[in-house]
Amino acid sequence: MEVITSPDTYYRIVFGLVVVISLFLFLSKYLKKYPNFIPTGSGELFNVVKKQNFDSKTCFYLVDTCGKYYLFIQFDGKLDKLDVFEKKDLTDLDELNLSNLKKDS
């Protein structure tokens, strides 16, 4: 087995490592800048019904899965479950909000 020890080979290896490390650093900065990368929409297991951003690090999610609604909060890189709702609970809440809007106008 022949070992290639020319300076050109070392320069290529160092250049490749610099490119890979730079790519990792760039992606880590980009993902820290935009932490709320979960879009609203539907999937096979769950449907993100509503996504509410409060600042760059805090976001609420209302998720529909198996006929129940879950309220999650994402902050400081953590995702915590706040509450679980039935569909009828949310329907009652919508009716309450609509009746309050009619009273205000």
Question: Is 8 part of a structural domain of the chain?
Answer: no
Domain around 56: 34-104
Cβ burial of 63 (10 Å; 0-12, 13-18, 19+) is: buried
Q: Is residue 23 part of a domain?
A: no
Is the residue at 85 inside a domain?
Answer: yes
Is 16 part of a structural domain of the chain?
no
Q: How far apart are CA 29 and CA 51, in angstroms?
A: 23
When divided into structural domains, the chain yields a total of 1
In a domain, 46, yes or no: yes
pTM score of the predicted model = 0.47
Task: Going residue by residue through the chain, which has 105 residues, state the pLDDT in tens, using 9 for 90 and above.
Answer: 666 678 888 899 999 999 999 998 888 877 666 555 555 555 667 788 888 888 878 888 888 887 788 888 888 878 888 888 887 766 665 554 544 444 444
Is residue 18 assigned to a domain? no
